Amino acid sequence: MTSTSYRDALREAHRDALQRDPRVILMGEDVGRYGGTYAVSKGLLDEFGPERIRDTPLSELGFVGAGIGAALGGLRPIVEVMTVNFSLLALDPIVNTAALLRHMSGGQFGVPVVIRMATGAGRQLAAQHSHSLEGWYAHVPGIRVLAPATVEDARGMLWPALNDGDPVVIFEHAQLYNMTDELPQPFSADIEHAAVRRAGSDVSLITYGGSLWKSLDAAQALATQGISAEVIDLRVLRPLDEATLLASVRRTRRALVVDEGWRSGSLAAELLARIVEGAFFELDAPPARVCSEEVPIPYAKHMEDAALPQVPKIVAAVRQMMGR
């Protein structure tokens, strides 16, 4: 195994895809000469040229739509959107065109486009650059939604996503880009299943993206208090791997969802509903969730920290569930 960063793993995934398939292109704001807002595409312009690494105007509606058109024309575009907040400008081509075209064409056409975007808070970038809207996309039939939280998934998920045949939206939590970890060889390229990141017997912590690492830290803290927490990394937000989720809850008989999205109408709510529908009689306590506070993410550091799920909040929620 070799140590690498999340950012470098993504870059290597792009390089590999560009080398393997001449139809693959990367397009988005500043992906070329600047090297990407988060430096994911640094050096790729020099290596592959401006025909395949394409800087676009500052118009998400325009360049996401162009990427979808390119996919229909036979290419395999990777479209980078700077942040999930800005992707709302492109909801029409993503939700009304890309997600629906296979259905509306009677299966004649797919839209093999991958749309990547940064998500999440914790960097003092204020509300317009800090929200977690993954649940909005996970609501829509016709797209696959991925949330790589590890270096291995950052490296492994892109190529199978490009070969899915239908639109795939990949959410990269912005606080993960600098994270380093060991990259196993061979690495996993799974875009179907959730992963058990830590085994446990008393409670299932169900999470994804940037909240995975807080949940693992919380599980470690709980272990010192005699509570064994299993940590489930969803990885795939649509379609959900319900089998892995429910198998964990049936083992531990308790469930806590950790989701950086807001509580109201959230992906966390959907997860709790599925747990109740599928494992109600195995539960020893009501399932619960830790979400972001119902406010626009603040700029001030102490307020931003207070608004987000944090390790003490997760630990406290588990202790309450355990009657401690």
- Residue 101, pLDDT > 80, answer yes
For residues 229 and 255, the answer to whether their CB atoms sit within 8 Å is no
Q: Residues 283, 284, 285, CA angle at the centre, nearest 5°?
A: 95
Q: Are residues 169 and 252 in the same domain?
A: no
Q: Which of 161, 183, 205 is at the close of a domain?
A: 183
Query: What is residue 324's predicted lDDT score, i.e. its pLDDT?
Result: 77
Query: What is residue 217's predicted lDDT score, i.e. its pLDDT?
Result: 98
Tell me which residues are annotated as active site. 60, 129
Q: 19: Cβ–Cβ under 8 A, 6 or more apart, which residues? A: none
Q: Are residues 113 and 250 in the same domain?
A: no
Q: Is 189 a domain residue?
A: no
Q: What is the pLDDT of residues 12-55, one digit of tens each?
A: 999 999 999 999 999 999 999 999 999 999 999 999 999 999 99
Query: What is residue 29's predicted lDDT score, i.e. its pLDDT?
Result: 96
Q: Which of 183, 204, 220 is at the close of a domain?
A: 183
- Residue 93, pLDDT > 80, answer yes
**CATH of residue 49:** 3.40.50.970
Torsion of CA 60, 63, 66, 71, to 10 degrees: -90
Q: What is the pLDDT of residues 180-236, one digit of tens each?
A: 999 999 998 999 999 999 999 999 999 999 999 999 999 999 999 999 999 999 999
Helices in 240-300 by DSSP H: which ranges? 242-252, 267-279
- The beta strand positions in the chain, using DSSP E, are 2-5, 24-28, 53-55, 76-81, 114-119, 144-146, 168-173, 180-183, 195-198, 203-207, 229-233, 236-238, 255-262, 288-292
Q: Are residues 317 and 215 in the same domain?
A: yes
Query: What is residue 290's predicted lDDT score, i.e. its pLDDT?
Result: 98
- Write out the DSSP string of 73-112: TT-EEEEEES-HHHHGGGHIIIIIIITTHHHHTTTS----
Q: Give the chain's radius of gyration (CA, Å).
A: 20
For residues 181 and 3, the answer to whether their CB atoms sit within 8 Å is yes
Q: Are residues 162 and 242 in the same domain?
A: no
Q: Are residues 177 and 200 in the same domain?
A: no
Q: Are residues 292 and 154 in the same domain?
A: no
| Percentage of the chain lying above the pLDDT 90 cut | 98
Query: What is residue 2's predicted lDDT score, i.e. its pLDDT?
Result: 81
Q: Are residues 171 and 212 in the same domain?
A: no
**CATH of residue 300:** 3.40.50.920
Q: Look up the domain containing 96 and give its range.
A: 2-183
Q: Are residues 258 and 161 in the same domain?
A: no
Q: What is the pLDDT of residues 151-163, one digit of tens each?
A: 999 999 999 999 9
Q: Is 190 a domain residue?
A: no
The rounded mean pLDDT for the chain is 97
| Percentage of the chain lying above the pLDDT 70 cut | 100
Pair of tokens at residue 57:
């105007």
Q: Parallel, antiparallel, or unpaired: how do β-strands 168-173 and 114-119 relate?
A: parallel
Q: For residues 196-235, b (16+ Cβ closer than 10 Å) or e, as one string? A: bbbebebbbbbbbbbbbbbbbebbebbeeeebebbbbbbb
Q: Is 262 a domain residue?
A: yes
Percentages (nearest 5) of helix, strand, coil residues in the chain = 40, 20, 40
CA 117 to chain centre: 9
Residue with tokens 């966390």: 268
Q: Are residues 109 and 223 in the same domain?
A: no
- Mean pLDDT of the 130-149 span: 97
Residue with tokens 């029409």: 92
DSSP state of 54: E
Domain count, the chain: 2
Q: Are residues 21 and 120 in the same domain?
A: yes
Q: What is the pLDDT of residues 290-321, one digit of tens each?
A: 999 999 999 999 999 999 999 999 999 999 99
